[in-house]
Copies of this chain bind each other. A is one copy, B any other.
Amino acid sequence: MELFPSPDQFDDNFQAFLEEACLKLCDWFSKAEETGPLPSINDLPEVGPKFAGLSRKDLLKDLDLIMNGSFQPSHPGSLAHLDPPPLSASIVGDLICAGLNNNLLAEELSPSLSRLENNLCRWIAQKIGMKTGSGGVAASGGSLSNLMALVLARHHSGLSTDPNAVILVSEEAHVSIYRAIKIMGLPAEAIYKVSADNSGRLSINSLNEQIAKLKFLGHKCFCVVATAGTTIRGAVDPIDDISDFCFSEGLWLHVDASIGGVFSLAEETKSVVPGLSRADSITMNPQKLLGITKTSSLLLVANTNHLSSCFSIGFPYIEPSWGSTMNGGEMGMQGTRPAEILKLWLGLRQLGHSGIQALLVNSIERKTYFKNRINSDIFEIITGPLHLIALTPSAITKEQAAEWALSTRQLLMDNKFMLSRPLLNDRYYLKAVMGNPHTQNSHLDQLSNLLNQSI
């Protein structure tokens, strides 16, 4: 067979290769219920190439071993993390994206797709209520979006090379913020931790205390990081109050809405993330709930000019963009990158507003249904307004809770439920993320029974 699809005639071999792969993929999906969320450990195929290239048939056989050893997000019991099953249109989007192999580095290497990215980011920013001039850029994952936001905030504040620059962050913020600070050349002490209240939300009192402290010590703050949807319980920080605080202090507000941001896309759910649109920058990850395949993360900003003024480096070998916006490679940290926007656009169009809303509402409803079935006499249940919930037996010690979490996670796995086992304030929980549209109430009945009987 030809290695590269023919550029001047319909390539039957290529089509056959694709179709056999599609068949294999459909087959893999159809067995999700049977195999469970996680396979047993299995053999890997040979890793390096042979002298001669392999035939289509051999390549597809190799793929079997990989696929049989993969995590199955489509199993109804896959509830451990923010890794939902993929939308069919998103898979199609990735297929087309790979075939086009365009490059979002520059408009000359992705004419329609560069414009699509600009337009869709602007559409989303304005849909969630950000003002004129807002927009954004796609990034390969939420860690990168958060890092870009912090670099942007630091640049904007004029503290780009100040070794004493600091940020204010809730103690329940995602660990990617800590890694970002390290990458940015700042010490761990550059993170002023703001306390969270009992429900996991950033405390405004603590925020006021911490800014007084950092001013007293002569440090300069370049960003407040709020979280809309914490990783373990899905708490949403009081963004409106934090926004008022940032306005009066002249500080950049970044909201890590990796988890909660998508809820602002639907009328019926946007009230769970009030004030989000007032942020200077927002991380939003459609990969975490809307079924857009990985990676799909956006950095939305109130003013798109900030992106290019921070990240533009003037690639000396690329044609200027012929539109009103900069080349994609000048808008963020990545240079060459694929058109990850394509699957997001196609996925949103497949869902429609009604489908987006249904996904969001149903995920919260499943969480509520499950919560109501957990015996609150024996469990401490922690959950915010989103679709995440975690629990730990309330009457046992931390050491006992650690043992309970480990053994119960295994018990659940034996029953084809995959939950995660997070550590929060030194205590182990089991966490369920209700982002899987295949999960039925009957599954949640079974899961809650197993949990209620686990202690």
Contact = CB atoms under 8 A, between A and B. Distances in A.
Contacts of A15: 22-23, 26
A178 B4 contact: no
A383 interface: no
A142 B113 CA distance: 20
A88 B4 contact: yes
A76 to B, nearest CB: 7
A398 interface: no
A294 B101 contact: yes
Interface stretch (A62-70, A203-211, A243-251): A62-70
Given A9-B30, A88-B14, A53 B351 contact: yes
Contacts of A70: 100, 102, 110-113
Q: Which of A66, A81, A101, A349 has the most CB of B within 10 A?
A: A101
Contacts of A127: 48
A356 B49 contact: yes
B90 A120 contact: no
Given A7-B76, A175-B315, A337-B141, A96 B184 contact: no
Q: Which of A1, A96, A120, A345 has the most CB of B within 10 A?
A: A96
A53 B96 contact: no
Given A11-B30, A54-B352, A81-B106, 5 more contacts: A5-B85, A11-B26, A83-B109, A183-B184, A295-B338
Interface residues of A, number: 161
A238 interface: no
Nearest to A334: B141
A144 B3 CA distance: 29
A3 B350 contact: yes
A361 interface: no
A272 to B, nearest CB: 20
Contacts of A144: 140, 144, 333-334
Contacts of A67: 96, 100, 112
A116 B142 CA distance: 23
Contact of A14 (B21, B26, B99, B420): B26
